[in-house]
Structure 1
Amino acid sequence: MDLSLPDRRKEIEYAHQVVEDSDLYSPLFRNVSVFRRSYELMETILKVYIYPDGSRPIFHKPFLKGIYASEGWFMKSMRENKQFVTKNPKKAHLFYLPYSARQLEMALYVPGSHSLKPLSIFLRNYVNKIAAKYPFWNRSHGSDHFLVACHDWGPYTVTEHDELARNTIKALCNADTSEKIFISGRDVSLPETTIRAPRRPLRHVGGNKVSQRPILAFFAGSMHGRVRPKLLKHWGGEKDGDMKIFQRLPQLVSKRMTYIQHMKSSKYCLCPMGYEVNSPRIVEAIYYECVPVIIADNFVLPFSEVLDWNAFSVVVAEKDIPRLKEILLSIPMSKYLTMQTNVKMVQKHFLWNPKPLRYDLFHMILHSIWFNRLNNIQLPRI
């Protein structure tokens, strides 16, 4: 470990107050001064070593399309990066385990078996291999190592290795505290993003003006999990003209207005959990400048270490689904307009740029890993 890191942590805690920063919009952040100083230090000193071990496609081959693409885009951006990556592990502050949970599932899961054990055993053996080959894992018991996994099964791939589950920083889309695998304050909630065209990841980003958003709330999707059937039961179909809630978008409806057009024409976009707490609709709503309404108890929201989600979203408890319209209508228009403006301002922090840009999604993920690592270093006793 770099002996200066505890000092860096104290430097962040006592960061000078930010008066003005044209790159950062203060209302989005829990403490913009802390975030900026931490980010500046990351840019200045952070070095990451990527283990070269492991064969493709599970290792080193990013999967860039679909709802689990976050892990692949991070891998791609990290491997191509020259600022943070070091070839010398002795200079590294963090060690990246470059596997894809999506590729792991595709390569090893036996359809119909309902067993994830082969996946977790495979990853356990990999960690044991690098621990035997290199001194870095044993030196920290894995606490300065990290993985990035967006597939729903990501948390369950670590369960056969105690130190991997307990100590390693896990950037997971499935950031569910109730399952006791995701550890708040250590692990990172990874945004789930739908990438339909890898060559054009930012296609369709943007939205309508508030005056062109006649729909109060919109959702269309499969009815899996415990939350969505409740949503459909109370608000489905054409029961209420303000609430457009569908079990997938009916063909007649989609001919008049596509799924994306619905999101761009809605004030609020509902983001209920499916089988797991995460939903790509949260980032889709941000892309289409629609205020996200998150319905997923026990879900740690992405970058909540630094972002104030109350500034640009609404969180509704699962038990309050019958009161959903009442809750949304009780929000004053002035507050809604502020939230909608904030959605537009936070958008840049959730973009996968073909070549990463400062403060974009790649850098926000890496920052949260860095930030949580610093906050879990034991400060020396005085």
Structure 2
Amino acid sequence: MTICDSKIRLLDESIQGANQMAPRVPFLFVPCSIGTLAFVAYVVYLSSSSLYVVPESQLKLQCGPVEGFPKRLRVYISDLEREMNYGLLEDYWSKQDSRNADHEDEPRNRYAKMEYPPYPSNPLIKQYSAEYWLLADLLSPSNGLAQRVGRPEDADVIFVPFFATLSAEMQLDRGKAKFRHKTQQNADYLRQRKVLDLIKSSPAWKASHGRDHVFVLTDPVAMWHVREEISSALLLVVDFGGWYMEDSKASSDDATGMIQHTQVSLLKDVIIPYTHLLPTLNISEDHPRETLLYFKGARHRHRGGLVRDKLWSLLDKEPHFVIEEGFPNSMGREQSIQGMRNAGFCLHPAGDTPTSCRLFDAIASLCIPVIISDNIELPFEGMIDYTKFSVFVSVHDALQPKWLVNHLKAISATQRRKMRENMAQVQHIFEYENNYPGGIGPAVRDGAVSHIWKKILFKVPSIKEMIVREWRKPNGSHIPVRCHCT
């Protein structure tokens, strides 16, 4: 029995239980939209998580029978040329870029000749490697949640196998001055244009207006020049920080500060985790922690990251607080490992974007995250409850003198131990790497790839509903776009 089989059976049992508890009145059939059925199934899924509790009242819904809800996610891989994915890796490994200069000991020429070259180990790029692991899972002969199909008409979603982040990072290294310009000298722009021209001319895109197409945009600047054109698609993003310009323009015209643009939303898109850069610490190897709070990163950032400089000034001289500049590259990796594993709490303030791989390094290190980022969105929320192993602090409170220090000291050793135990239960959920050459092999059991497919799976009914609604619109009609999603 698959995961989805058990969830649907649980859904049926929940509905039956709700009917038994209802008053003895003539049976009332409450018609449900496909989106509602998806919501019910999703609520039932959440109820099975050890770190999430769904109120009983939310399960007392009377609906028609759940028919046609997918048991596995059927995925068609768009037919892109190899140069848009593994060919990019061949190009990357065949040349010495400044962004991988720290890794000269790697067998670059041998990597470049592989059928499935490894993803760069440079942390600046590796942190965005979800695109690599998702495609590898689809190419693997596995029995996971995602089932590859041979025709787009048989698919629930269409996966676009473009390594958009790698493309952007290679351009930033080889020609940063051209990155934001639509010129022949910008190889990343040319690749974006080639991918979009091919995808948008396909019958599959035209049939759905792109709503069932999946793009992986983990880097905040991935697909920078064509985002508006793919705004109808399902985007896999680490947060919405890459849309700060659109957010700013949209909210500046609204006195309430509401974001009005429709390029990204929690309803349409999926938040996915960064790839953590530090090794996972098993809770059996944990030891007493001497530092109260640890942070290693850049002091000066833009936008929401301006809070870092202010926090630095407040906390830098505090006893048992370690605040230092740096990044877990080849020079600072061991320092970061020791720093996080020796600290009770790890600071996670906003940077240029609301989140970073630092959060997932902290989870891997069993260091309780202290999240100071008011606009943060987190992966797999609902599937897991972050409040069971993280501390959330508003920017306003964090900037009050001594507030954060006193707040963290008030959390007892018993509470901290329990939070680390809870964290250990979910560490595997953020694991991408499966230790198979080229990633071609079964995904980590119930890991990041599986959870991403689950998130997409539960969007399928609403995607299909949107496509059907689009089909029935008569020519010449105008229906305004509404997406006030959060």
Q: TM-score, normalised by structure 2?
A: 0.63
Count the aligned residue pairs.
Answer: 352
Post-superposition offset of 1:275: 1.9
In the alignment, which residue of structure 2 is the partner of 1:140? 208
2:444 alignment partner, SS class = coil
Write the mapping of 1:261-280 to structure 2, written as runs, cut at 5 A: 261-280=338-357
Q: Distance in 1 between matches of 2:430 and 2:226?
A: 26
Work out whether residues 354 and 376 of structure 2, in 8 Å CA contact, stay in contact via their aligned partners in 1: yes
In the alignment, which residue of structure 1 is the partner of 2:73? 46
C-alpha distance after superposition, 1:8-51 (max 9, x if no partner): 9627606896899xxx65124668999xxx9xx76x33210011
Amino acid at match of 1:168: A
C-alpha distance after superposition, 1:40-89 (max 9, x if no partner): x76x3321001122341456756353222222222222332544111222
Report the more deviating stretch, 143-152 or 6-15. Answer: 6-15
Which of 302, 308, 320 pairs up with 1:242?
Answer: 320
The verdict on how the C-alpha distance between 1:278 and 1:338 changes in structure 2, with shifts beyond 3 A counting, is: same
Which of 69, 74, 78 pairs up with 2:138?
Answer: 78
In the alignment, which residue of structure 2 is the partner of 1:199? none
Which of 76, 89, 92 pairs up with 2:152?
Answer: 89
Post-superposition offset of 1:93: 0.4
In the alignment, which residue of structure 2 is the partner of 1:131? 200
The verdict on how the C-alpha distance between 1:57 and 1:128 changes in structure 2, with shifts beyond 3 A counting, is: closer
2:176 alignment partner, SS class = coil
Report the more deviating stretch, 372-381 or 141-150. Answer: 372-381
1:111 alignment partner, SS class = helix
1:299 aligns with 2:368: no
Q: Kindly name which structure, 1 or 2, has the bigger radius of gyration based on alpha carbons.
A: 2
Which stretches in structure 1 are left out of the alignment for 5+ residues? 197-202
Work out whether residues 128 and 274 of structure 2, in 8 Å CA contact, stay in contact via their aligned partners in 1: yes
Post-superposition offset of 1:369: 2.0
- The share of aligned pairs that are identical, in percent, is 23
Work out whether residues 164 and 223 of structure 2, in 8 Å CA contact, stay in contact via their aligned partners in 1: no
Q: Distance in 2 between matches of 1:235 and 1:16?
A: 41
Q: Distance in 2 between matches of 1:192 and 1:15?
A: 24
In the alignment, which residue of structure 1 is the partner of 2:40? 13
Work out whether residues 218 and 237 of structure 2, in 8 Å CA contact, stay in contact via their aligned partners in 1: yes
Post-superposition offset of 1:339: 2.1
Q: Distance in 2 between matches of 1:48 and 1:17?
A: 24
Write the mapping of 1:281-296 to structure 2, written as runs, cut at 5 A: 281-296=358-373
Write the mapping of 1:209-248 to structure 2, written as runs, cut at 5 A: 212-225=288-301, 226-236=306-316, 239-248=317-326
The verdict on how the C-alpha distance between 1:82 and 1:17 changes in structure 2, with shifts beyond 3 A counting, is: closer
Amino acid at match of 2:322: K
Q: Distance in 2 between matches of 1:14 and 1:215?
A: 43
Work out whether residues 277 and 357 of structure 2, in 8 Å CA contact, stay in contact via their aligned partners in 1: no
1:112 aligns with 2:174: no
In the alignment, which residue of structure 2 is the partner of 1:169? 234
Work out whether residues 64 and 72 of structure 1, in 8 Å CA contact, stay in contact via their aligned partners in 2: no
Work out whether residues 293 and 316 of structure 1, in 8 Å CA contact, stay in contact via their aligned partners in 2: yes
Q: TM-score, normalised by structure 1?
A: 0.78
Post-superposition offset of 1:195: 4.4
Q: Distance in 1 between matches of 2:228 and 2:376?
A: 23
C-alpha distance after superposition, 1:138-188 (max 9, x if no partner): 111111111112212136354241xx11x1111112333753543122111
1:369 alignment partner, SS class = helix
